[in-house]
Structure 1
Amino acid sequence: MKFTQFLKTKGAIATIFMGVFYAVAMLGIFLPGYSSIPGNVDQLPIAIINEDAGDYGATIADQLKENLPFKEIETELTNKQALNDLEHNDLALVVHIPKNFSDDLQKGEVSSSIDFTINEAGATTVSSTMNSVVTQINSQLSAQFSEQTAKGVIMNFNVPEDQAEQLANKIETAYVGNVITINEVPDGMHHNMLPMFLTMAGYTGAMIGAMQLVSAYRASRGKASKKRLFTYVQLTAILVAVVSSLFALGITYLINKPSGDLFLELFGHQVLNYIVCFNFTAVFVFLVGEAGMVLNLPILLIQTLANGVTVTRDMMYLPYEWMSHISPMYYSVQAYFASLYGSISPAPFIWLMAAIGAAALLLNILIVAFVHKTEPVENTEDTLETEGLKNTTEVTA
């Protein structure tokens, strides 16, 4: 057999195709998706809450609205409403100017501060970007107010030495930015990425499992009814979901050590994640067989960007944002963030993920019922009985 003949075999052709396809799909999806960082940072919504009755608060609020690089800046919310939106990652940053800001600044008895609140239980790009923005804002405001305070000191140039020292200290402490972090994530990238890793472990295993179990379903046609075989496929998927989730959480508790009180919640979440992802990826496999994996791969790659771990929905380009709305991976990741690090309920995300799984299950039922042909089922017991009688007759004869 010549090498050119070997290259024409189905295995070689499939290998060449998948090598080219995976390279094109991965780079064609990842590079455009990640190009939204930092280009789409201006799409992040923030809120500026000014409760100060004095001139300083209004001036700072106007300066921030004019100079910050964000297209959506909420100013009509109360601080309570803004913090609630921040908890749900509907805002990326809350700037709160307190009531007594101008009075404190003018009196100089205490340092005047503005609260900058950031939520860490969300996309890593958002929290890191907001920290950088807040650092720049605080540096500019500190310099601005120190300069204004210094002008007041110059007007009182002829003062005793002890008073001069107090005034110098007043200049240095005229303004202090108060950075508040809610839902802090423990140090280490393994903590930041845990919601994605747990979800990916279930999704990837489910995708491969869908290919293998649907192949077993097709190979078993004629040995049982479509309905019974489909039920066997689903029961096997549930069994794998339970077993694989125990192993996944075992490693998670060994390395990340989350609270033991969360075990049952995380276990149920991971089992549901596997079952939903199984039916989601099985749709194409039930429809077109093993070739469905060619469609599942780019969908998986898109979801690794559209799941909200690195890039928030506000920063995503439209194809990735659209995928996030129908992606089980997105809702699984957000639910894990809420359970592990957040202070909000994961229930809304869990219900949305379950709804996607129910829709995928219904599609699979319809495909099996109306697309797959019904084949006559072998009556194994009757066949064995007939063969037994035949053998008995032959021996008697």
Structure 2
Amino acid sequence: MKFKKFITSRGPLLATLVTLLYGILVFAIYFFGYHAMPTNVDKLPITIVNQDTHSKTIARQLKKNLPFDTINETKNLSQAKTDLDQRTTYLIIDIPRDFAKKASQNRSAQLHFYINDSNQSTVTAAMKSTAQSVAASLNKKISTQKAVIQIAAPKLKTLKRNLLKQEQQAQLEIAQAKQQIATSPAAMQPKLTAQLKQKVAGQKLATRKKAQQQEKQIIAQAKAQAKPTKEAVSEQLHRQHKLPTGINYAMAPFFAILALYLGTMMASLTLYGTYAKFAKEIGRFKSFINLEITYILVAAFSTLITSFITMKFVNVPTTNFMNLWLVHFLLVCASFNFTGIFYFLLGQIGAVINVIITMLQIVAGAGMMPVVTMNPFFKAIHYIIPLYYGILGDYTNFYGGPSITTAVLGLAAIYIITLLISLIIVTIMKKQPMLKFEEIS
């Protein structure tokens, strides 16, 4: 009977509800959040750089056949590389000078591909796959064309020689006919001349049609017999900000920021308990000021150590340490206040909300896939979450990329805004909703 009373009390019922809620909600977040990959890979912008004036047709065919919504075209490879570094384009297909000339000769033409390894692993994998596919497709097409030309060339040469003989024979017959007309009565000559012209025009048209049909037949037969010759197009993959081998390196920025955020979320709950305790003794505003100072001190000290250790694991250049520490320091400060909002509002039960928001951030933080490929909901919320700016900054700090200014300003803005929101809540709520777990069980 005691077990029945225990199992039917509020604690087990609440545990069942939380288990169900998380089991369904977390699955739904990830299932719908990552549905965008790989179906939304076509949203990634790429660039075609055509440096060969004779390869306009190839560039046009590439643009038509590639499965991307945004394909930029330029002749400036240097600018395209800058865009790749800034992550405003994700793949460069470079058609070098003399590409068409080499492809038409018995020489291998090289197509250059540029990717930026300082991106999500899903992006780099998709771009490598695209590069291989494009090179293979062009190679098959051009080498097959060469084979067709090699097979058809002798027959086309013979056809051309026969046409020349027919034209010479026709010219001889026309000359003889003109001589006969000249010996005819003057009154009949205009009519005979007109008939001759009509006959000659008809013969030329018939000869031309027959020649075109024979040419088509020769080419069709050559295509049926043709097999790709030796490699006509080879690919040269250039990796900007090349990463060490291993998925752990590709995921390192995501892991580093997520680890800091999770630690901060748990520490925030502990510090909230300290705040609530001292709010009764020294007043909530003094306790809040002490809490914010503690946030800064804990963030500064902890991130000095974690940033140094992370730097050694990932082999980040020592010169990047201050930038790495700055991003991590601002992330922890912003995360303390970001997660603290729900503790001020709901007490310890705010941890439930924080866990759900963390799940949302894992998708919207762009650690697994870029923002441009996300579903509208996650694309909308990524601006207001700490994880996004932290991961953005760490990709640059670890492997290179654009300035960390965007990441720093984003984290600083979140820190200031959440601090003000927390202050407003402290001002309004005179008593903290601290839970006594024995009372809700």
The TM-score range, normalised by the shorter chain, is: 0.7 to 0.9
- Offset at residue 117 of structure 1 (A): 1.1
Residue 145 of structure 1 corresponds to 142
- Taking the TM superposition and a 5 Å limit, the aligned residue runs for 1:257-276 are 257-276=315-334
- Offset at residue 49 of structure 1 (A): 2.5
d(CA) in 2 for partners of 1:254, 1:78? 38
Residue 119 of structure 2 corresponds to 122
Q: 2:62 aligns with which of 56, 61, 64?
A: 64
Give CA-to-partner distance per residue, 1:108-158, whole Å, 9 cap, x none: 5x532222111111111111011111111111111222223334544777x
Give CA-to-partner distance per residue, 1:70-121, whole Å, 9 cap, x none: 122222574333322221222121112223322333455x532222111111
d(CA) in 2 for partners of 1:222, 1:255? 44
**Residue 49 of structure 1 contacts residue 96 of structure 1 at CA under 8 Å; is this kept in 2?**
yes
Q: 2:86 aligns with which of 65, 82, 88?
A: 88
Give CA-to-partner distance per residue, 1:338-369, whole Å, 9 cap, x none: 11101422122221121111111111112112
Equivalent pairs, count:
360
**Residue 116 of structure 1 contacts residue 180 of structure 1 at CA under 8 Å; is this kept in 2?**
yes
Give the SS at the match of 1:75: strand
Give CA-to-partner distance per residue, 1:301-357, whole Å, 9 cap, x none: 011111112111111101111121111101110110011101422122221121111
d(CA) in 2 for partners of 1:194, 1:14? 37
> Cα RMSD over matched residues?
2.4
d(CA) in 2 for partners of 1:24, 1:176? 49
Give CA-to-partner distance per residue, 1:217-248, whole Å, 9 cap, x none: 22322311222101111122223223332442
Amino acid in the other structure paired with 2:114: T
Residue 389 of structure 1 corresponds to none
Give the SS at the match of 1:114: strand
- Taking the TM superposition and a 5 Å limit, the aligned residue runs for 1:292-371 are 292-369=350-427, 371=428
Q: 1:202 aligns with which of 260, 274, 277?
A: 260
Give the SS at the match of 1:177: strand
Amino acid in the other structure paired with 2:129: S
**Residue 146 of structure 1 contacts residue 171 of structure 1 at CA under 8 Å; is this kept in 2?**
yes
TM-score by length of 2: 0.76
d(CA) in 2 for partners of 1:204, 1:302? 13
Amino acid in the other structure paired with 1:373: K
d(CA) in 2 for partners of 1:254, 1:330? 23
**Residue 265 of structure 2 contacts residue 335 of structure 2 at CA under 8 Å; is this kept in 1?**
yes
Whether 1:35 aligns to 2:32 is no
Amino acid in the other structure paired with 2:50: N
**Residue 334 of structure 2 contacts residue 386 of structure 2 at CA under 8 Å; is this kept in 1?**
yes
d(CA) in 1 for partners of 2:120, 2:344? 34
TM-score by length of 1: 0.83
**Residue 279 of structure 2 contacts residue 286 of structure 2 at CA under 8 Å; is this kept in 1?**
no
**Residue 124 of structure 1 contacts residue 310 of structure 1 at CA under 8 Å; is this kept in 2?**
yes
User: More displaced, 67-76 or 145-154?
Assistant: 145-154
Whether 1:216 aligns to 2:214 is no
Residue 215 of structure 2 corresponds to none
Give the SS at the match of 1:113: strand
Amino acid in the other structure paired with 1:105: A
Residue 4 of structure 1 corresponds to 4
Could you say if the C-alpha distance between residues 112 and 340 of structure 1 is closer, same or farther in structure 2, counting changes exceeding 3 Å?
Answer: same
User: More displaced, 272-281 or 77-86?
Assistant: 77-86
**Residue 395 of structure 2 contacts residue 401 of structure 2 at CA under 8 Å; is this kept in 1?**
no
Amino acid in the other structure paired with 1:188: G
**Residue 116 of structure 1 contacts residue 134 of structure 1 at CA under 8 Å; is this kept in 2?**
yes
User: More displaced, 128-137 or 13-22?
Assistant: 13-22
d(CA) in 2 for partners of 1:374, 1:212? 18
Higher Cα Rg, which structure? 2
d(CA) in 1 for partners of 2:140, 2:320? 46
Residue 166 of structure 2 corresponds to none
**Residue 198 of structure 1 contacts residue 270 of structure 1 at CA under 8 Å; is this kept in 2?**
no
Residue 380 of structure 1 corresponds to none
Unpaired stretches in structure 1, ≥5 consecutive residues: 158-169, 376-397
Residue 168 of structure 2 corresponds to none
User: More displaced, 354-363 or 95-104?
Assistant: 95-104
Give the SS at the match of 1:275: helix
Could you say if the C-alpha distance between residues 12 and 254 of structure 1 is closer, same or farther in structure 2, counting changes exceeding 3 Å?
Answer: farther
Residue 252 of structure 1 corresponds to 310
Unpaired stretches in structure 2, ≥5 consecutive residues: 155-227, 433-441
